[in-house]
Every structure is written in structure tokens, then in C-alpha cells.
Amino acid sequence: MRPWSSNVGFRSAMRAAVAFPFLFAGRPAGAHVLADGADPAGAWPVTPDIAIPLLLLAVLYLAGLRRRRDAGQPPSRLRHLGFFGGLTALFLALQSPVDALAGELFFVHQIQHLLLRMIGPMLLALSAPQALLVAGLPSLLRRQMLAPLAGASAPRRLIAPLLGPVPLTLLFIGSLYLWQIPYLHELALRRAGVHYAMHISMLAAGLLFWWRIFDLRPPPQGLRFGARAAMLCFVILSNILLGASTTFTGGILYPAYGEGGLHFGYTPLADQQMGGITIWIPSSMMSVLAALIVIHRFGRDETRRLLRALAGRGGRPAATTTPDLSRSNRRLALGFAAFALTAFLGAFAVGILYGMVGG
């Protein structure tokens, strides 16, 4: 096995991590700030309050990766891609022209929310970085703080009810619906503190939700497959409902985005409709993709469990066992995809009828 220092990908990642602070050196702070006449593509409002935590996470991950490599336990490259892809999604959501334009265009704001509560947390949860992040901590911190906290039962008993399928689903859906209320949404555009609360609540809800969805632990520590599938079904339906209602409403819900004329080439109504479509289709498709991943993992775990059970009884699996399980998993995946497609088409038909009646 090559030492970690000879790994080209690791060295490149470390160089990127070291160079990261220079991205925000000397740049002004501010959220949703876009000066008159400024080029949105050149607006990178990078601020230490966001960039430094992301940098620290990257450094901890790389330090943990080094220690695991030295111990002969290197994780897969896909996990590395997932982790740094998740950090990149959060960086783009909060420190790039996306953030600069999010206060000017409603649909860009919804793209930001998509990165912040779905894409970024999904990739981080799929990478399962907990072990590497813990391994990257200084040994004193692990022994004196983390170990006693992990062994304490009181915090687990306090948090456990909040991590059930129903509370987590309500929290995840509510973190979107709450901030789409016009008064609160526009208040977040005007008040920096409220805007921070919006982003923190969405990110926290997303991290908790997708961690439980992609948790590799079997029940009872992890959620049952049926519970995960039901959670994703409710999220898909909630995205379709909110997105379709926003798309097909006839009035302006958020006048702060430029009522009374063109704004960056978009009318307020067109901007609002594009934002509704962003909530409706891309967000729902991310949930469908997550469901397919969960179904794949469920089928793989069921196959392994069956083979272990047969091996424990001294038997040998029939030649048709694995193909039968694969066909069953494919039927399950196709059934879920059919459900999602039916929900899409149903919402679209309702929207068209609503438009015809309203018109």
C-alpha cells in the first residue's frame, strides 16, 4: 500500500484545503449583497463565518483519512467524492454568485435552498464521514470531550424522540414551508438575522433528515425500509404541492423580488413560476433518486441476509435465488418510479385545470 503522502488525489485535496482561506481574504462580508451595476457572475460574497467551518471540516476529513490510511483502512473514493461534493454544494449555495442573486430572483433563491437542504446534505450523508471526522480530531479532544459525550445516555434519550420518522419528516418539510410564507420570506430578505435563521434551519433539517434516510445501521438503530420509503413519499408529495401551487398561482406572492417590471430580464410572475418549478421538479427528482438508492441498499442487504441465513443452516442458495431477488428489487424500484411519475402528472393536470378555470 502506498503511503498517504504519495497519493496524488490526497495531495491535491490538501493543497486545495490550504489555499481555501485565500478565497475570502480581503473580501467584504454580507448576505445577498449585489451592488448596482455589479456583474452577478463575479460576485463571490465569501465570508469567514461560512468559509472557515467548511475549511475545518475539510481539514478534519483529510486528517482522519490520513490516520485511516496509516491504519490500513482507506474508505472508498466514492465516499471522498460525496463528502467534498457536499461541501462544494454548501459553498456554492452560500458563498458564490448563487447567494449574490438569491435576494434578487426568487427562482435563484429556490436553487440555493435546493443546494442547502437537499443536494449538499444528501451528498454528505451518503459519504458517511462521521468516522473520518472523529479520527481527524486531536486525540486529547477525542478522549476528554467526545468519548464522555458519546457514552452519556441522557442526551440520547432527549434527542431520540426527535429522530423518529414522523418528527424528522415534519421538520424537513416544515423548514421549507415555513420560510415560503410570504411575510417570513420577505422578512428574511430584509433582516440578516432572520436570513441566517432560515439557512441554519434548512441546513440542520436537511442534515438530520438525510442522515436518517441513508443511515447504514440496521433497525433498531437505523430506520426500517418502509419508514424511509414513506418519509420520501411525503417529501415528494409536499414538494409537488408547494411547487405546483406556487407555479400556477395568478398573483405575485413575493413583491420584494421586483414588482412592477423586468428584473434581470424576468418579470416577477415569470420569476415566481420558475421558482415554483424548481421546488416542484428538481427537488422531487432528488427525492426519487434518494428512494432508488434506498431501494438498492435494501435489496443488497436482503440478499446478504438471505445468503448468510442459508450458509448458517449449511445449505446452498439455489441458482435462481439471486435473480429472483433482483427482479423483486427492480419491481419495487419501478413501482416507486411509477408512483412519482403519477404524482407529477397528477399535479400538472391539476395545475392546467386550475389555470383554465382561473383564466
Return the higher-pLDDT residue of 128 and 343: 128
Q: What pLDDT score does 8 carry?
A: 39
Give me the chain's average pLDDT, please. 79
Where do the structural domains in the chain lie, given as residue ranges? 4-358
The pLDDT, as a whole number, for residue 73 is: 67
Give bridge partners of residue 192 from the DSSP assignment.
Answer: none
Task: Determine the average pLDDT of the residues in 204-220.
Answer: 92
Q: Amino acid identity of 78?
A: L
Measured between alpha carbons, how far is residue 351 from residues 116, 275, 346 in Å? 27, 15, 9
The per-residue pLDDT for range 244-290, each reduced to its tens digit, is 999 998 889 999 887 656 677 888 999 999 999 999 999 999 998 99
Q: Is residue 121 a contact partner of residue 86, using CB atoms and an 8 Å limit? A: yes
- How sure is the predictor about 139, in pLDDT bands with cuts at 50, 70 and 90? confident
Query: Residue 164 is placed in which grid cell?
Result: 423518529
346 pLDDT band (50/70/90 cuts)? low
Q: Are 332 and 293 in contact (CB under 8 A)?
A: no
What's residue 13's pLDDT? 40
Burial (0-12, 13-18, 19+ Cβ within 10 Å), 5: exposed
What is the structure's pLDDT at 91?
A: 96
Give me the pLDDT at residue 219, please: 83
Residues in contact with 176: Cβ distance below 8 Å, sequence separation at least 6, in sequence order: 113, 117, 202, 238, 239, 242, 279
Confidence grade of residue 328 (pLDDT, cut at 50, 70, 90):
low
Predicted pLDDT at 147:
66
The pLDDT of residue 5 is: 38
Q: Using an 8 Å Cβ cutoff, are 167 and 94 in contact?
A: no
| pLDDT of amino acid 241 | 92
> pTM, whole model, 2 decimals?
0.79
- Specify the higher pLDDT residue, 45 or 133: 133
Q: Name residues whose C-beta falls within 8 Å of residue 346's C-beta, 6 or more positions apart in sequence.
A: none
DSSP β-bridge partners for residue 233:
none
pLDDT given at position 53: 95
Q: How far apart are CA 93 and CA 108, in angstroms?
A: 10
Whether the upstream peptide bond of residue 220 has omega within 30° of 0, thus cis, is yes
pLDDT at 93 over 80: yes
Concatenated DSSP letters of 108-159? HHHHHHHIIIIIHHHHHHHH--HHHHHHHS-HHHIIIIIHHHHH-HHHHHHH
Of the listed ranges 19-23, 290-294, 297-301, 352-356, the one predicted with least confidence: 19-23
Q: What pLDDT, on a 0 to 100 scale, did the predictor assign at position 1?
A: 38
Amino acid letter at 255?
P
Q: Is 319 a residue whose pLDDT tops 80?
A: no
- How large a percentage of the chain has pLDDT more than 70? 69
pLDDT score at 336: 64
Answer whether residue 10 shows pLDDT above 70: no
Torsion sign across C-alpha atoms 130, 55, 139, 144: negative
CA-CA distance, 291 to 288, in Å (whole number)? Answer: 5
> pLDDT tens across 301-315, in order?
777 777 777 676 665
